Amino acid sequence: MMNRRSVLKAVFTGGLVAGMGVLMPRVAMAAWSKIAFEAKSQDAAMGALYGADPSASAEVTLKAPDIAENGAVVPVSVKSSLAGVTSIALFVANNPQPLAAQFTIPEGTLANVSCRIRMGKTSDVTAVVTTASGVFSASKEVKVTIGGCGG
């Protein structure tokens, strides 16, 4: 599955994405970002979306199980007490495509979303919240006994 060519390609897109992120940060926030969703590493996906690494914040709450018996269905919810949250994104570091979902939060919608994700194996799950003042995140490790990606 992971041959030399795909590794090189991932490295190349990662670099390209990082460069583009600097030039035009957060332009196409709401559109489905092919680069970000198909990125093979969490850094590349985050770079495509934010152009910078998010800083950890205690005001972002990620609720996920400690042990997920079935990786095909892992319930997670993200909450934030930060003001003016504009978007929430979920990353699973060890998935083939780490970016799981991206939620755009318009004014009048609470920064509190739940969904169910798929996890290939034990991994850190990271929630990233963007506000007018920056990009914040919270992570949690979820242990998976049966993987849910492919097979």
Nearest approach, Cβ of residue 71 and another protein (Å): 9
CA distance 11 to 6: 9
110 binds another protein (CB under 8 A): yes
Binding another protein by CB under 8 A: which of 6, 81, 104, 145?
104
Name the residue nearer to another protein (CB basis): 52 or 101: 101
Q: Which is nearer to another protein, 85 or 138 (CB)?
A: 85
Q: CA–CA distance from 46 to each of 19, 34, 43, 127, 135 (Å)?
A: 12, 13, 5, 11, 11
Of positions 118, 121, 140, 143, contacts another protein by CB under 8 A:
118
Q: How do strand 123-131 and strand 134-146 relate by DSSP bridges?
A: antiparallel
